[in-house]
Amino acid sequence: MNQRLKEKIRAREAQICIIGLGYVGLPLAIACAHAGFSVIGIDNDKNKVDDINKGKTTNLDIDNDVLGTLITAGKIQAVSNFVHLNEMDVILVCVPTGLTKNFTPDLQHIQSVVTELSSKLRANQLICIESTVYPGTIEEIVIPALETSALRAEQDFYVCHSPERMDPGNEHFSTANIPKLVGGLGGGSLELGILFYSQIVPNVIPTSSLKVAELAKLHENSFRAVNIALVNELTLICDKVGVCVWDVLDAAFSKPFGIMPFYPGPGVGGHCIPVDPHYLEWTARELLSTTRLISAAGEINRNMPYFVREKIWRVCNVIHRVPSQSKILLVGMAYKKDTADYRESPALQLTELLLEDGVRVVYHDPFVPKVDTSSLHLTSAPLTKAEVEKADLVVITVDHSNIDYMWLVQTASKIVDTRDATRSIPNREKNVILL
Ligand SMILES: NC(=O)c1ccc[n+]([C@@H]2O[C@H](COP(=O)([O-])OP(=O)(O)OC[C@H]3O[C@@H](n4cnc5c(N)ncnc54)[C@H](O)[C@@H]3O)[C@@H](O)[C@H]2O)c1
């Protein structure tokens, strides 16, 4: 039955559909196109679709020229409707999965896509969920919804989970070279999933079930969350002891085994670390169990913007400024170095806290020209001498590589550096206070 689909995949004749053209979906579309496949990308954001079809994206990990060439060659086409779904052979779902305000999984985008898919499903399609989901989502939510089509999973169509593991801003690892986990509903799905992904990435790792793939992804991000919390907790202790946490970490990370570098900061952001561990937490709760370590890590990480605010208050005292009469320049609004993504960024929360204190907040981020959230509407100020000198205090919230930190340290009167971005600047202790 699926022999024809296998042949089409091997011959690069399989038509690929990617639903959700964001940080995950668009690089995946490019990887598929580079492997020789034709890709239709579906996104319900009409502006994004128009931009992509013009070869434009704000994703800094994507070269607009590369995207433009693939669009012009007809290898990638973006659309905002599902009309072509029936013609697709492999459908990869990369829509957002988040949290409700009570920290429970919010699968509304997956559910809406799956409803759309079930109305157009045909035999011999491979559906692969790339979005991060809690264990059991695919078997308990996705497959039953797809089977309302009267087609049967593993007999008529095939279902895999291949959680995306990308790391935005990472120069060494991208969609094309990160080992790809693939879990399948059964042997047929797994075989097709492995065959498909092997055309795109050099290293495909099968998992023994869908749930193993779902849980592996959640563990990877919980591992990061817990270790970041550990160094954030160390930061609070070092602050009390009066020792520089970065010196402690330099010393500790010189051990060649048994430890891995993780660094403190003003909090965690992005679409993974503040979200995914809560999927495990919620899963445990549903099963009348608990995740004590993950829950504690979340609490510690969420407290960091408050700690930075307190540190800022202390510095305001030293420079004889009342926070409510101060002007603070935040350098960095993205959630991490060298990305334009500011979703869940701790800099957003810090901005809100400082505004609550009556501080006049200005920000500069070379990658984030504007911030539009439900509560913040800001525009990045240029990083000029006049802007820096007008600020009572500069707070470095992200260590983007294209900021001239030497110049910043020479120009600003006082800096709170939450990322050790000024590490290589001589005599910085004169006006730089580290986290
Ligand atoms: N961003 C990362 O670094 C990263 C890394 C690994 C895994 N993930 C996971 O991958 C998934 C996608 O994340 P992302 O960062 O790419 O999100 P994103 O917000 O950047 O992109 C998702 C896209 O899906 C579109 N979309 C939403 N609902 C849709 C629908 N019903 N139909 C069509 N399009 C729809 C949105 O308009 C958006 O363009 C999430 O589950 C996330 O947790 C993200």
- Nearest residue (by CA) to ligand 1, atom 37, is 45
> What pLDDT does residue 168 have?
85
Over the stretch 268-323, which tens digit does the pLDDT of each residue have?
Answer: 999 899 999 999 999 999 999 999 999 999 999 999 999 999 999 999 999 999 99
Say how many Å lie between the CA of residue 193 and the centre of ligand 1.
20
Give the three-class secondary structure for 270.
coil
Among residues 32, 94, 160, 272, the one annotated as catalytic is 272
| 272 assigned to active site | yes
Instruction: Determine the residue type at 11.
Output: A
81 with 168, same domain? Answer: yes
- Nearest residue (by CA) to ligand 1, atom 12, is 96
- Nearest residue (by CA) to ligand 1, atom 21, is 22
Say how many Å lie between the CA of residue 382 and the centre of ligand 1.
30
Phi-psi category of 207—alpha, beta or left, where left has phi over 0 and alpha has psi -120 to 50?
A: beta
CA distance 292 to 216: 19
Atom of ligand 1 nearest to the CA of 131: 41
From 162, 192, 208, the end of a domain falls on 208
196 with 259, same domain? Answer: no
Residue at 191 is within a domain: yes
- Nearest residue (by CA) to ligand 1, atom 25, is 20
Residue at 236 is within a domain: no
Residue at 317 is within a domain: yes
Structure tokens at 274: 């503040």
Distance of CA 281 to CAs 108, 131, 216, 294, Å? Answer: 19, 18, 14, 7
297 with 198, same domain? Answer: no
Pairing of strands 105-106, 98-99: antiparallel
274 with 199, same domain? Answer: no
Mutate to test the pocket of ligand 1, among 43, 85, 97 (most ligand atoms within 8 A of CB): 43
pTM of the entire predicted model:
0.94
pLDDT band (50, 70, 90) for residue 176: confident
**395, 312 contact by CB (below 8 A):** yes
Mean pLDDT of the chain, nearest integer: 96
CA distance 284 to 267: 24
Q: Report which of 233, 175, 184, 205 is spatially closest to residue 59, judged by C-alpha positions.
A: 175
Residue at 119 is within a domain: yes
Residue at 184 is within a domain: yes
Q: Is the pLDDT of residue 1 over 70?
A: no
Q: How many domains does the chain have?
A: 2
Say how many Å lie between the CA of residue 43 and the centre of ligand 1.
10
Residue at 261 is within a domain: yes
Mutate to test the pocket of ligand 1, among 17, 18, 23 (most ligand atoms within 8 A of CB): 23
Ligand 1 site: residues with CB under 6 angstroms?
19-25, 42-45, 48, 94-97, 109, 112-113, 131-132, 164-166, 168, 271-272
Distance of CA 136 to CAs 96, 113, 144, 165, 167, Å? Answer: 17, 17, 12, 19, 25
Say how many Å lie between the CA of residue 93 and the centre of ligand 1.
9
**95, 109 contact by CB (below 8 A):** yes
CA distance 264 to 292: 21
203 with 248, same domain? Answer: no
402 with 272, same domain? Answer: yes
Over the stretch 308-359, which tens digit does the pLDDT of each residue have?
Answer: 999 999 999 999 999 999 999 999 999 999 999 999 999 999 999 999 999 9
**422, 269 contact by CB (below 8 A):** no
203 with 350, same domain? Answer: no
Strands (E), 37-104: 38-42, 76-79, 90-93, 98-99
Residue at 323 is within a domain: yes
> What pLDDT does residue 332 have?
98
197 with 69, same domain? Answer: yes
Residue at 225 is within a domain: no
Three-point CA angle 99, 331, 402, nearest 5°:
105
Q: How does DSSP assign 190-249, residue by residue?
A: HHHHHHHHHTT-S-EEE-SSHHHHHHHHHHHHHHHHHHHHHHHHHHHHHHHHT--HHHHH
From 208, 231, 253, the end of a domain falls on 208
Three-point CA angle 189, 195, 199, nearest 5°:
145
Say how many Å lie between the CA of residue 87 and the centre of ligand 1.
23
CA distance 64 to 82: 25
201 with 313, same domain? Answer: no
Give the CATH number, domain containing residue 352.
3.40.50.720
Q: Is the pLDDT of residue 364 over 90?
A: yes
Mutate to test the pocket of ligand 1, among 24, 107, 120 (most ligand atoms within 8 A of CB): 24
Mean pLDDT, residues 112-132: 97
Domain that holds residue 46: 3-208
Over the stretch 183-192, which tens digit does the pLDDT of each residue have?
Answer: 999 999 999 9
171 with 296, same domain? Answer: no
From 208, 233, 255, the end of a domain falls on 208
158 with 303, same domain? Answer: no
Say how many Å lie between the CA of residue 129 and the centre of ligand 1.
11
> What pLDDT does residue 171 have?
85
**310, 273 contact by CB (below 8 A):** no
Mean pLDDT, residues 222-241: 98
| Residue that has been written with the tokens 């979703």 in this structure | 343
191 with 295, same domain? Answer: no
- Nearest residue (by CA) to ligand 1, atom 39, is 22
Over the stretch 80-109, which tens digit does the pLDDT of each residue have?
Answer: 999 999 999 999 999 999 999 889 999 999
